[in-house]
Structure 1
Amino acid sequence: MNNSKTWDAYKTQRNYVTKLKKQSINRYFIERCTGGSKSKDFWPTVKPFLTNKGCTSQKETILQENNKIITNQQEISEIFNDFFVNVAKNIGDNNVQVNDKHPSIEAISNKYSNGSTSNKLIFQPINEEFVSKRIGKINVKKATGIDGISPKILHAAKPVVIKPITQLVNLSLSTSIFPDSLKIAQVATVHKKNSVLEKGNYRPVSVLPAISKIFETAIENQLTKYFDDIFDHFLAAFRAGYGCQSTLLKILED
């Protein structure tokens, strides 16, 4: 009799705990996914249940090369490195011809052939406010580069590192030398599709030091501003604020 009562009490408590668990899980997903796919918490919450890409377990890569199965990770790294370095080596080889007499090229050449110093690209020094804003825009969730300085640490140390980083960037701009240490990337392979044994089914992902983003932005901003005054307003490819629509509107309305 006592055993029966104990078992009934256990089942009651078990069912109650199961109910609380389901309610907690339901509340968790509602809180994190409210707002739909545009919510910053939506995909990090849902993605692990859709694919295995959210899994933290590290699975060693195995390749098939020349009808031979390769399991040695050092050898696999060399195979990937050789493949990625040479995969685009012959693209456009001897097929690209530049017509120096093209009207567009001649127009640009004639417009800026007077040798005026005002047309020369001269990098200007940046200030600490620029560096502070750039550090603030770096995503803290991004991976850490080979220097071991994570974006999160960079954010936390911002008051201390702003001045030396500003000095380093300005030195790079004045000497026209980009630091070699900031060019070194950690390269990881990501499987795209089809067989995992084929090297061609992987793509490389490079992780550069977080600080290099500040150098790159300082250069990119000034390059963009310089060429905006050179490029014709009909040239819209790969330019911020330009597109097919803007070009068509200029043709139709101007």
Structure 2
Amino acid sequence: MTTDTNLSQASLALIVSDSAKAQAGAQALRESHPWVPAADADVLVVLGGDGFLLHVLHDMLDWDQLKPVFGMNLGTVGFMMNGPASPAPIAQRIAEAHQVPVRPLRMQAVTRSGTAHTYHAINEVSLLRETRQSAKVEVRINGRVRMDELAGDGILVATPVGSTAYNLSAHGPILPLGSRMLAMTPLNPFRPRRWKGAILPESAEVEFRILEPDKRPVAAVADHKEVRDVAVVRISASAEKELTLLFDPGFTLEERIFAEQFQV
């Protein structure tokens, strides 16, 4: 965890989803605080759902300065968001917020034609078969072959934030925030059938090499960015792109991750 930055005098920018629910919820909030443009703000307040928050975070990865983000749930799931209702003024909520660092993944995908694409993923990087044929993938960690051949629908690498998303649906482990770990989870593995995946240190450099790519084409997806017909995919944590999410006291992402593990 990084040391919390004092946000008691922070200037705030309001960013609102186009959804009717978010726009309606923003009406009173717009009048409750002297907002500034996003470029001039110290903190971004984002109204919407998890999908919109991820969209804002991805846009911010291209900025020169990364800014803390306080999400307010006016969407569907809102796993990474705070509740919209509170008697406290928004400036007080920001000043008292718990700060959670989020380190995205950097994916470099090289296609069979030799074209390289680089994208970042806040949740996960996934490899998915493109046809009815199962994918066959060689798995390397830090330059060493750890699995000669994984056959199945694919494989993913998830951050702690993303471990409760696609990774959890694929029966992967939930990772506590601050663990500095990554989850590697197979997708419907055919061989080795009993392999459930692995937990890796965040410092690990992962490389997937596609076997028989002409017969068994594979796509690589970094959150919502897809590269088709890949030959090699390299994944590593991006320390220089570390983001900060803000949460109300007692409403932290860590608590929700704990709670998720005891759902029945």
What TM-score comes out, normalization by structure 1 length?
A: 0.23
More strand by share: 2
* Structure with bigger RCO (C-alpha 8 Å, 6+ apart): 2
More helix by share: 1
What TM-score comes out, normalization by structure 2 length?
A: 0.23
From the CA coordinates, give the structure whose radius of gyration is larger.
Answer: 1
